[in-house]
Structure 1
Amino acid sequence: MKNRRSFLKTTGLALAASTLPLPHFAYGNPQMKLGVALLGLGGYATNNLAPALMQTKHIELRGIVTGSPEKIPVWQEKYGIKDQNIYSYETLPEIANNEDIDVVYIVTPTFLHKKYAVMAANAGKHVFCEKPMAMTVSECQEIIDACKKNNVRLAIGYRMQHEQNTQTIINWAEINPYGALQNVHTEAGFRIGSSGGWRLDGAKGGGAIYDMGVYPINAMRYATGLEPISLTASHETQRPNLFLNGAPEITYFDLEFPNGITAKGRVTYADNVNFLKVNCADGNYELAPFQSYNGVSGSTSDGKYLAPCECNQQAIQMDDDALAIMNDKPMIAPGIEGLRDIQIVEAALASGRNNGERIALKQY
């Protein structure tokens, strides 16, 4: 282990750090794949992203960035990762000189997203950043600015926006097949226990509103096709000894949208819930569950059934984002998408601390 740690700290290539290599692939060539390094080898990277990368057509796993040297041989054996494509958090800047790696996917706890997304962008690599994008709007903007400055692309890991039934809901917000939209109701959450780790700590992006809040918030936005103009919120913690640094166990929030449209949401660490309901002038429709890794399905007031897709959401997401890079097309979920949700998370936290104060939302 000591030798492995020493290797991580000393790995470097001969090119000067100030020069950024050209991508090794030819954009638009369907025979080529982007290479991605996963930064952070926790549960989501291990159990979801890495297996999904075995199914992707346009991007493949070529590297890892980890602070846990003991994980390295396991990943190398399972995925055939070269020694020269292994980095620690400290040696991440050296990835600038590695032509095998085109994308760095940030999969750390939320409070570390900004730090490593900016480092990856400064190394000249495209950035995929897991949601929630960052802790604050200002951190989100720093990531966006770093990617723009370094002329690299940025995608936020909103896998649901790549999923077929969710895309139907997004389309219906534009064409209004059930008449003018009136209101939305959505809730998401699960019962967390003492093994929740950083998710129990408000200083690290914990609490239901930080960790799970972007699901119902993003759903409200894509289900209406609009940006909210104000918000009120309240918090509840049924197990105060479980949560640290002001992390709320449950948050209720109400959003106002243009045209008199309203949305009611709840995000919770106290019980299992997972639905999105949209009420319109001439009918309604829903997805339940709306944000599961599989089985997303729905129904409409006139009897339509939105059958679940037998597919890997993460594979579709990463392929879509890779193709956007290769073909110079817009990302489905760019950085501004993550920033807008974090604005609402911040407002919900503030409103709840101030007895449900109504907070006006800036239009980005």
Structure 2
Amino acid sequence: MTTNSRRYFLQRLLASSVTIPFLYSSVASGKTSVLTANQQGPTLRVALMGLGDYASRVAEAMQSCKRAKITGLISGTPAKLQQWGEKYQVPEDSRYSYENFDSIRDNSNIDVVYVITPNALHHEHTIRAAKAGKHVICEKPMALDVKEGQEMIDACAQAGVKLLVGYRMHFEPNTLEIIQMRDKGELGKITFFQGLSGFRIGDPSQWRLNKALAGGGSLVDIGIYSVNGARYMVGEEPIWVTAQETKTDTIKFKDGVDETIQFQLGFPSGAVASCLSSYNIDHLDRFFLSGDKGFAELHPANGYGPIKGRTHKNELRMPHGAQQTLQMDEMAAIILDGKQPIIPVDGIEGLKDVKIMEAIYQACATGQKQELKLL
């Protein structure tokens, strides 16, 4: 990457006076250094809802945030509320159960609720938080179906609060560098995208393998990265989808819980995408974008990092740090400053992915191409 392109990227990422720490790795010296600047602007005060494994990752990453901090906790487990409250210095009167969290409307020390509960609860928890007058960040997938997603968007609009979706990769530096290259025409006319998303899932009793709680299987959990990635990497909205499901273990993957799905997307320009989502195949974490002048690849593309990339020109060496730190500082700027991200993270963005996933399941069930209307 040239000095000019790196400078251009950083200027865009640091717009609206957002300050984010970047960890740079020096290949030559093997040493690391941190680029920091003075904090500017108000701090986003966040209540974490659902204190599970991913919330733990978010909480730890937020300790390095410049513009976001944990000021509230919501959980159904009293012991977790006490443990997390002590660890992150959240007072008892800002710790809530799922039954009483509506009372956060009276807590002026909370700006936003970050919903990190099982998929089936996103709808209820988002609407309740919005009615309490709080902005919402909802983990992906935003909803189980299009009806739920639209109701969540409407509830937040009626309450005058923002609805964002936890698309951490929308702020990932290597990803944004490729999009910059595409927009500058360095890849030429985009013709093809490949997205591979999957792993072998473990404990068969976990909620992700429960249709009632998850709303599906691999597609809604890990395949959504390829659904969403195809859209922002190609730079268009798909107009059709075809899909095929493969299931080899009907005991672990019961009815309504997909094991492996292959799906194909078509775009208005003629570009096509070929994607794979699986809960039973390891080492699937790759994006490949091809144009008539060059290519770009991310491998790994969606893991917690470090994300690695290369193009027809060179390897990408953008900074790596905790993705959730970057995500939360950027979301603070969106909520508090009205910043417009390079890749949207709002409820409409989340709803588009839900529409595509519904169409993928329909294509699997019918064996027929499904037309898409996302705009």
TM-score above 0.5: yes
Unaligned runs of 5+ in 2: 1-17, 19-38
- 1:79 aligned onto 2:91: no
Map 1:243-258 onto structure 2 (within 5 A): 243-258=253-268
Question: For residues 140 and 212 of structure 1, what CA distance do their matches in structure 2 show?
Answer: 19
**Do the aligned partners of 1:208 and 1:268 also contact (CA within 8 Å) in 2?**
yes
Contact 2:85/2:95 (8 A) holds in 1: no
Give the structure 1 partner of residue 122 of structure 2. Answer: 113
The match for 1:210 among 220, 226, 234 is 220
Question: Pairwise CA RMSD of aligned residues?
Answer: 1.5
Q: CA deviation at 1:139?
A: 1.1
Q: How many Å separate the matches in 2 of 1:116 and 1:53? A: 22
Q: TM-score, normalised by structure 2?
A: 0.86
**8 Å contact kept, 1:188–1:215:** yes
Residue in structure 2 matched with residue 352 of structure 1 by the alignment? 364
Post-superposition offset of 1:195: 4.2
**Runs of at least 4 residues off by over 4 Å:** none
Aligned-partner Cα distance in 1 for 2:352–2:181? 21
Alignment of 1:1-364 (within 5 A): 30=40, 32-46=42-56, 48-195=57-204, 197-205=206-214, 206-272=216-282, 273-302=284-313, 304-307=314-317, 309-330=319-340, 332-355=344-367, 357-364=368-375
Unpaired runs of 5+ residues, structure 1, are 1-27
Counterparts of 2:320 and 2:174 in 1: how far apart (Å)?
12
Equivalent pair of 2:307/2:320 in contact (CA under 8 Å): no
Paired letter, 1:313: Q
CA–CA distance in 1 between the matches of 2:143 and 2:43? 28
Q: Report the 3-state secondary structure (helix = DSSP H, G, I; strand = E; otherwise coil) of the residue aligned with 1:265.
A: strand
Going from structure 1 to structure 2, the CA distance change for 1:192 and 1:341 (only over 3 Å counts) comes to same
Tell me how far 1:346 sits from its aligned partner: 0.6
Amino acid at match of 1:225: G
- TM-score in terms of structure 1 length: 0.89
**Paired amino acid for 1:73:** Q
Query: Compared with structure 1, are the counterparts of its residues 225 and 152 closer, same or farther at alpha carbon in structure 2 (3 Å cutoff)?
Result: same
Structure 1 residue identity aligned to 2:118: P
Partner SS for 1:114: helix
More moved, 200-209 vs 104-113: 200-209
Q: 1:238-286: per-residue Cα shift (whole Å, max 9, x none)?
A: 1110023321100000000011110000011112211000111122111
For residue 280 of structure 2, give the secondary structure of its aligned residue in structure 1: coil
**How far apart, in 2, do the equivalents of 1:218 and 1:300 lie?**
21
C-alpha contact (below 8 Å) 2:127/2:155 kept by paired residues: yes
Deviates more, 1:163-172 or 1:249-258: 163-172
Identity of aligned residues (%): 38
Length, aligned pairs only: 334
